[in-house]
Structure 1
Amino acid sequence: MPIRVVKGLPAIGRLSEENIFVMDSERAESQDIRPLHIVVVNLMPRKETAETQLLRALSNTPLQTKVTFLYTASYTASNTSQEYLETFYRTFEEIKDQYFDGLIITGAPVEQMPFEEVDYWDELSEIMEWSKTHVCSTLYICWGAQAGIYKHFGIHKEDLPNKLFGVYEQEVQNTKPMLMRGLDELFYMPHSRHTTVSESEINAHPQLEVLVRADKTGVGIARSYDNKHVFIFGHPEYDRDTLYQEYDRDRQQGLEIDIPENYFPGDDPTKTPIIRWRSASTILYTNWLNYYVYQETPYEVSELQSRPIEETYIQDWVI
């Protein structure tokens, strides 16, 4: 089924070239279908790239999904024009009275700053607090995952001695949760970050579980047991060349940057990277959208606020 977005969004053309069905809002209005409503807080500096990656990841499902992108009104983006944002994005103020089936909060290049010093932290905190009553399940990516697990559960981030940069093997710790359904016990995921979260703090928290980890990366994926919060500390949605673009950008700026690990064949930057993470990415986003959003959200999504607490606890099962 198609992804529904605002008419004219540049990502529509790029995804259509990949035979991904993206429907603009004008055509969608003619169809009598209740789509899933997903809101994306896009904090990435290259917003068009992040849009394409996330829409691609959400497209591999039979569910029709309507996506609304948010930008932070408390921070002026330096890499995206205000005209673009006002055309294709909304602010929290514009949507805060609405209810959504799912929420995605992306990464951001602010991980080495204390959370409270980030310009838009107060606004993002308000959005995360709002999500408790207005969203069925939230997926947090990279810095977004660090921010979410800190905001909701008090888990702190820690500086790494060196940037974690490359494509790393990940090991599933518990195969029973539906988010893990169909994943190999070992799979690959891109990471690009200077910080990590405390695995021991997560293990000690009664509401949290580590689902995926590796000695090299630490925690790769964690969840709250009610599945209202899914934290992915890498970037399974990344394109083939995303790590290369980051590597080349830092080199051009004269920054110290190592070649991304396990990325270029033979560690040779002149060779084309081989994608080893796309199937795992498809499974993760599809499972989240199906099992933790579609299977649990009420048909009238506004009923989320009135549901008893015990009814919002999603039970995993094995078939």
Structure 2
Amino acid sequence: MPVRIPDNLPAGKILNAENIFVMPDSRALHQDIRPIRVLVLNLMPNKIETETQLLRMLGNTPLQIEIDLMRIHEKQSKHTSVDHMATFYCDFEQINHRNYDGMIVTGAPLGQINFEEVSYWTRICEIIDWSQQHVTSTLFLCWAAHAAFYHLYGLKRQLLKRKRVGVFKHVCCKQHVPLLRGFDDQFTAPHSRFSEIDIEKIVSHPDLELLAVSDEAGAYITLSKDMKNLLITGHPEYDRETLAQEYERDLQQNLPVEKPVNYFPDENPQCTPITNWRSHGNLLISNWLNYYVYQETPYKLEKV
């Protein structure tokens, strides 16, 4: 089944070329189907790139999904055109009266800034609180996961001496959990962050369940026991070249970063990276949408 997207969204052309099933609004209006409604709060600088990455995974599920794209503020984006933002993005005030089956909050390049010093921290907290009443299940990625750990569960992150960046091996901590169905004994996922949450604090928290960890990268998948919040500290949505592009950007800005580990063949940045996390990312999103959104959400959204 397709992801339902706005007519002329740039990601649509890219995904159609990859045989990812997406459907414009104009066609979807002729179908008598109750789609799963997903709200995406996109905090990443390059909006179109992140839209495409998320839609690529959402389009790999057997459910018809309708998305709304939301921005955190009205300030002009440095990396995305004004026309694109005005055409495809909404503000919180435009949708805060609605209910959604699912919500995705992306990462943000704010890893070394204290939460309270982030210009839109108050708004993020407002949206997170709103999601607990208006969304069946919310997926938080990377920085957003750390923000949710802090705001919802009182868990503070620890800043790292060096950026944790690369592709890391993970193992599952639990068995017979619907979110982990089909997972291999080991799987890989990208990380790109300057902080971490202490594993023992997650394990000892009465409202959280740690599901997957990495010896090198620490906690990865955490699910709230009420199943409303899924916190992913990495980036399963990343494309093949995303970490390489971030690495090149950091070098150009003279930042003290090392090349991503376990990423470039022979550890050579001149070599094209090999993607070995896409199947895990697709399965993670499919399981979340099926077991924690579709199976849990009421048919009438006003009952969320």
TM-score for the superposition, normalised by structure 2: 0.98
Residues 21, 60 of structure 2: 8 Å contact kept: no
- Within a 5 Å distance, the mapping from 1:99-138 to structure 2 comes to 99-138=99-138
How far 1:111 sits from its partner (Å)? Answer: 1.6
5 Å-filtered alignment, 1:1-319, equals 1-73=1-73, 75-304=75-304
**1:82: Cα distance to partner?**
2.7
- Which digits, 9 at most, give the CA deviation of each residue in 1:74-112, with x for residues without a partner? 654322233211101111100000110001000000121
Which has the larger displacement, 258-267 or 194-203? 194-203
Q: 1:114-152 CA deviation, whole Å, 9 max, x = no partner?
A: 111111111111111111111000000000100111111
Where 1:292 maps in the other structure, the secondary structure is helix
Give CA-to-partner distance per residue, 1:255-314, whole Å, 9 cap, x none.
22211100011001111111110110011000000000000000001101xxxxxxxxxx
C-alpha distance in structure 2 between counterparts of 1:121 and 1:177, whole Å: 33
TM-score of the aligned structures, taking structure 1 as reference length = 0.93
Task: Judge conservation of contact 1:146–1:157 (CA < 8 Å) in 2.
Answer: yes
Distance in 2 (CA, whole Å) between partners of 1:218 and 1:161 is 15
Aligned equivalents of 2:10, 2:160: Cα separation in 1: 36
Query: 2-side partners of 1:213 and 1:190: how far apart?
Result: 13
Tell me the matched-pair count: 304
Compare 24-33 and 79-88 and name the one that shifted more. Answer: 79-88
Separation in structure 2 between the aligned mates of residue 81 and residue 116 of structure 1, nearest angstrom: 28
Identity value in percent: 47
* Aligned-residue CA RMSD (Å): 1.0
Task: Describe the superposition over 1:201-223 as per-residue Cα deviations: whole angstroms up to 9, x where unpaired.
Answer: 11111110111112211101111
Change (3 A) 1:77 1:144: same
Which residue matches 1:307? none
Look up the equivalent residue of 2:109 and give its one-letter code.
P
For residue 303 of structure 2, give the secondary structure of its aligned residue in structure 1: helix
Q: Compute the displacement of 1:42 (Å).
A: 0.2
What letter is aligned with 1:255?
L
Whole-angstrom CA distance in 2 between matches of 1:125 and 1:272: 39
- 1:256 maps to a residue whose letter is P
Structure 1 unpaired stretches of 5+: 305-319
State whether residues 74 and 119 of structure 1, in contact with CA within 8 Å, keep that contact through their aligned partners in structure 2.
no
